[in-house]
């Protein structure tokens, strides 16, 4: 445990512009809501502001009809003194399946060129083979490469497992490590043990990211800070708690007057919170913020369902008219997870396991059996196309889902030919900036729809296309 007589101010990464609204309102905060408060946020003295990556890229295009690259440039222009941070899904970039190395390298290059300072890179299976290309690219571009441990529970996930992973991460060239506790599973005294072990094992900084879903995160943060963690992720109070992060103002005040005092100005933080509060009320009134995602759910420790996955499940079931199956699906999630090699539940493994759980519950309720309906992503996972899981797959389930299909044991991206030239050719008629090829590479159909919308807005040729802004609840 850290020496309490030595001053070690805790650093704060603010998540209100990315993970907080991804977890509570399915990533629907438009850029126009962010820009007016940036000047004040820039004065706080945050370690960084997480404002890009994760689901923001997809949601900006698909639902808000915004160019995510333009959002990043506007944020960069406003944050003159603060480092900007993004979440990056390793070889999957910001999508849901692996991309070729040339696309990964170019995306990292353009992210840093457009204003990102810190790239938090993770893999849903903690398969470091899927992180090498992104880390190397971030190092080359002089960006800060942070690798995240996708934290989860299970027989295989021991302290020795995490320490070994952390050592390999440091050897890979990471500038820092993040304990990414996406479902709020890390308990306070487990955090003391884990942070203590990691601080002894590696020389690079350790950051902690957790969600309040299980009600433990604020206490976990306190114990982790005492144990020597360097940075914690928090969200402004109107978009904190529930499936989001602990509140920034609360954590700042909790350490006031201690050796861990952040030194951040509470009055300034309260002014920022006041700015976001009316938008929170609007989201509640419009149904964009679901009260189910605001409370404490201690059963999270059983289900291991992260915040973003919870909001997606509620909306997925609502769209299917199956909201009454919510708790049945939550109980099915750990069973599917076990069948699928006990992966951490984080994008895209959370979506794969969650969707399969929904399919299983619906199949059984209609008189069928589990795994009667198997989406392609489930099949790909069981074929090794996302990487190696910590435990073997359930052989019977694997056989039922993929039959005699080939199962690979090497890095999935090794099968992928360089693809940038192909995307450049396909996007040529729509391209207005270099970054458009990356937008297209990640989400081809969504990108083309956006490019058509953008063209209509610029030319006025098709006014009907300009009326597609989606303000509805997420799908």
Triad 408, 347, 87: Cα angle to 5°: 115
Position 138 pLDDT exceeds 60: yes
Residue (of 280, 372, 355) closest to 315 by Cα position: 355
Gap between the Cα atoms of 421 and 47, Å rounded: 38
Q: What is the mean pLDDT of residues 201-225?
A: 97
pLDDT tens digits, 410-454: 999 999 999 999 999 999 999 999 999 999 999 999 999 999 999
DSSP string covering 110-160: HHHHTT--EEEE--TT--GGGTHHHHHHHHHTT-EEEEEEE---STT--HH
> Residue 223: its pLDDT value, please?
98
* Percent helix, percent strand, percent coil in the chain, to nearest 5: 50, 10, 40
Whole-number Cα distances in Å, 88 to 51, 67, 246: 12, 18, 22
SS3 at position 52: strand
Residues 6 or more apart in contact with residue 331 via CB below 8 angstroms:
303
> Residue 467: its pLDDT value, please?
46
Joined together, the tokens standing for residue 61 give 């295009």
Gap between the Cα atoms of 9 and 89, Å rounded: 30
Gap between the Cα atoms of 274 and 383, Å rounded: 49
Whole-number Cα distances in Å, 359 to 201, 257, 350: 42, 52, 14
Query: In 35-95, where does DSSP find H-type helix?
Result: 38-41, 56-62, 68-78
Position 144 pLDDT exceeds 80: yes
Position 386 pLDDT exceeds 90: yes
Strands 48-53, 118-121: parallel, antiparallel or unpaired by DSSP? unpaired
pLDDT tens digits, 67-109: 999 999 999 999 999 999 999 999 999 998 899 999 999 999 9
Residue (of 173, 207, 242, 186) closest to 83 by Cα position: 207
> Residue 298: its pLDDT value, please?
82
Provide the 8-state DSSP code for 185.
-
Q: Is the Cβ–Cβ distance between 239 and 24 less than 8 Å?
A: yes
Joined together, the tokens standing for residue 248 give 């920034």
Query: In 292-365, where does DSSP find H-type helix?
Result: 300-303, 307-319, 326-339, 349-365
Residues 6 or more apart in contact with residue 158 via CB below 8 angstroms:
none
Gap between the Cα atoms of 157 and 455, Å rounded: 50
Q: Is the Cβ–Cβ distance between 22 and 14 less than 8 Å?
A: no
Residues 6 or more apart in contact with residue 148 via CB below 8 angstroms:
120, 121, 122, 177, 178, 179, 180, 209
SS3 at position 349: helix
Provide the 8-state DSSP code for 127.
-
SS3 at position 437: helix
pLDDT tens digits, 391-411: 999 999 999 999 999 999 999
> Residue 32: its pLDDT value, please?
98
- What mean pLDDT value characterizes the chain? 93
Position 2 pLDDT exceeds 90: no
Joined together, the tokens standing for residue 219 give 């206490």
Query: In 227-265, where does DSSP find H-type helix?
Result: 248-254
Residues 6 or more apart in contact with residue 90 via CB below 8 angstroms:
121, 122, 123, 130, 131, 134
Gap between the Cα atoms of 262 and 225, Å rounded: 11
């Amino acid at each position: 445990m850290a020496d309490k007589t030595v001053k070690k101010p805790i650093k704060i990464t603010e998540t209100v512009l990315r993970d907080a609204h991804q977890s509570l309102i399915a990533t629907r905060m438009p850029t126009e809501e962010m820009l007016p408060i940036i000047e004040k946020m820039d004065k706080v003295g945050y370690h960084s502001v997480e404002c890009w990556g994760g689901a923001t890229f997809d949601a900006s295009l698909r639902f808000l009809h915004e160019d995510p690259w333009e959002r990043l440039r506007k944020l960069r222009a406003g944050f003159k003194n603060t480092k900007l941070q993004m979440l990056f899904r390793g070889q999957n970039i910001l999508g849901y399946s692996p991309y070729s190395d040339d696309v990964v390298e170019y995306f990292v290059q353009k992210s840093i060129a457009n204003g990102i300072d810190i790239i938090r890179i993770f893999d849903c299976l903690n398969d470091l083979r899927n992180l090498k290309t992104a880390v190397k690219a971030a190092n080359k571009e002089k960006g800060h490469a942070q690798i995240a441990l996708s934290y989860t529970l299970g027989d295989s996930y021991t302290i020795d497992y995490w320490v070994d992973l952390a050592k390999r991460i440091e050897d890979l060239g990471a500038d820092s490590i993040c304990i990414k506790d996406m479902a709020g599973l890390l308990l306070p005294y487990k955090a003391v043990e884990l942070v203590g072990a990691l601080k002894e094992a590696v020389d690079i900084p350790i950051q902690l990211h957790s969600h309040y879903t299980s009600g433990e995160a604020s206490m976990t943060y306190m114990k982790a800070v005492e144990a020597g963690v360097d940075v914690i992720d928090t969200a402004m109070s109107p978009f904190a708690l529930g499936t989001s992060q602990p509140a920034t103002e609360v954590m700042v005040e909790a350490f006031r007057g201690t050796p861990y005092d952040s030194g951040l100005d509470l009055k300034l933080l309260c002014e920022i919170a006041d700015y976001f509060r009316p938008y929170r009320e609007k989201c509640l009134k419009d149904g964009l913020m679901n009260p189910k995602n605001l409370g404490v759910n201690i059963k999270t420790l059983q289900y291991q369902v992260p915040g973003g996955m919870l909001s997606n499940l509620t909306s997925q079931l609502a769209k299917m008219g199956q909201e009454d199956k919510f708790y049945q699906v939550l109980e099915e999630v750990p069973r599917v997870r076990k069948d699928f090699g006990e992966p951490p539940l984080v994008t895209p493994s959370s979506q794969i396991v969650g969707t399969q759980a929904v399919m299983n519950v619906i199949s059984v309720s209609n008189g069928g059996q589990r795994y009667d309906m198997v989406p392609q992503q489930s099949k790909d996972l069981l074929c090794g196309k996302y990487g190696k899981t910590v435990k073997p797959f359930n052989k019977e389930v694997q056989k039922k889902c993929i039959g005699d299909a080939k199962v690979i044991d090497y890095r999935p991206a090794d099968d992928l030919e360089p693809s940038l030239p192909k995307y450049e050719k396909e996007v040529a008629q729509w391209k207005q900036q270099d970054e458009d090829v990356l937008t297209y590479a990640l989400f081809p159909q969504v990108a083309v729809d956006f490019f058509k919308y953008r063209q209509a807005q610029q030319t006025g040729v098709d006014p009907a296309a300009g009326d597609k802004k989606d303000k509805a609840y997420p799908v």
